[in-house]
């Protein structure tokens, strides 16, 4: 795992308020994280978080991006606007958007391509549902999600961002994949990337997401192909997020 620094990203989802965010920022600034970190607030708080994290090493990300260029697309936000607002990262293909907003593998791949074209670093989320896991289709589903992106973009562009393996059944459920279950899928993701570009695969960070907590982070992060985490619920509490970052730094 030479050359891959741990990365821990906070996905706040649709949570926060200006007052809550300010308290979070104060706690975060008081105890700098010891690994590379990214904070992904809702769009409307990007400016607040950019200002609040100025002077720290933390990166800023959005949670979604339009697959289209600027124009008459009511309610959508273009990749260039995110960059203009101070974001350098963006989450694409989160399972909550795949399920609730009907984002297909191809739409997710188009978002990925658009983000890269604009100069954003995408975090591509992949993962199977419980039914798919029980049918023994985990690796097939994840490979299809990955291949949709690889058809449009070379693997080196995934290395500039990150891949997040998020088993849908582990998100917000308190049920975490075991470190062995996660490692197995992370290794499969890396080998899929390696089949196209071994050098890119060796440096691409593959994050785990799904009920990561201070108590389970270190064991997950000690697996050879787990390069950090994408943290939902636990990232809303600055102390918990910092504890997870500390686990990544060990």
Give the whole-angstrom CA distance, residue 69 versus residue 163. Answer: 24
Give the whole-angstrom CA distance, residue 110 versus residue 125. Answer: 14
Check: CB of residue 88 under 8 Å from CB of residue 61: yes
Q: Which is nearer to ligand 13P, 172 or 224 (CB)?
A: 172
Give the DSSP H/E element, type plus range, for residue 186: helix 179-196
Give the whole-angstrom CA distance, residue 69 versus residue 192. Answer: 30
- Spot the catalytic one: 36, 94, 103, 128: 94
As given in the structure block, the two tokens for residue 109 are: 């791949």
- Spot the catalytic one: 67, 113, 128, 166: 166
Compute the least distance from the CB of residue 234 to ligand 13P, in Å.
6
Q: Which is nearer to ligand 13P, 121 or 197 (CB)?
A: 121
SS3 191: helix
Q: Which is nearer to ligand 13P, 179 or 232 (CB)?
A: 232
Complete DSSP assignment for 45-56:
GHHHHHHHTTTS
Q: Which is nearer to ligand 13P, 120 or 197 (CB)?
A: 120
Closest-CB residue for ligand 13P?
Answer: 232
Give the whole-angstrom CA distance, residue 57 versus residue 46. Answer: 16
As given in the structure block, the two tokens for residue 93 are: 């293909």
* Residue 22 among the catalytic residues: no
Compute the least distance from the CB of residue 14 to ligand 13P, in Å.
12
Chain positions contacting ligand 13P, by CB under 6 A: 11, 94, 166, 171-172, 209-212, 230-234
* Residue 166 among the catalytic residues: yes
Compute the least distance from the CB of residue 229 to ligand 13P, in Å.
8
Q: Which residues are catalytic?
A: 94, 166
């Amino acid at each position: 795992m030479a050359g891959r620094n741990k990365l821990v990203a906070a996905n706040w989802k649709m949570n926060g308020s200006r007052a809550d965010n300010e308290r979070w920022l104060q706690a975060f600034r008081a105890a700098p994280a010891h690994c590379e970190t990214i904070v992904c607030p809702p769009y409307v708080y990007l400016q607040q978080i950019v200002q609040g994290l100025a002077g720290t090493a933390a990166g800023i990300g959005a949670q979604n991006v339009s697959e289209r260029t600027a124009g008459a697309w009511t309610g959508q936000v273009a990749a260039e606007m995110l960059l203009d607002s101070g974001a350098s990262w963006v989450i694409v293909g989160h399972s909550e958007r795949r399920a609730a907003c009907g984002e297909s593998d191809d739409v997710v791949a188009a978002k990925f391509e658009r983000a890269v074209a604009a100069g954003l670093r995408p975090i591509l989320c992949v993962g199977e549902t419980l039914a798919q896991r029980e049918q023994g289709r985990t690796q097939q589903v994840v490979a299809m999600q990955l291949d949709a992106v690889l058809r449009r973009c070379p693997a080196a562009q995934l290395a500039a961002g990150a891949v997040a393996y998020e088993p849908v059944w582990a998100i917000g459920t308190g049920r975490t994949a075991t470190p062995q279950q996660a490692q197995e899928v992370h290794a499969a993701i890396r080998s899929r990337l390696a089949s196209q570009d071994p050098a890119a695969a060796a440096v691409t960070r593959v994050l785990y997401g799904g009920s990561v907590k201070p108590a389970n982070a270190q064991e997950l992060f000690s697996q050879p192909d787990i390069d950090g985490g994408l943290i939902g619920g636990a990232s809303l509490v600055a102390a918990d997020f910092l504890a997870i970052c500390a686990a990544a730094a060990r």
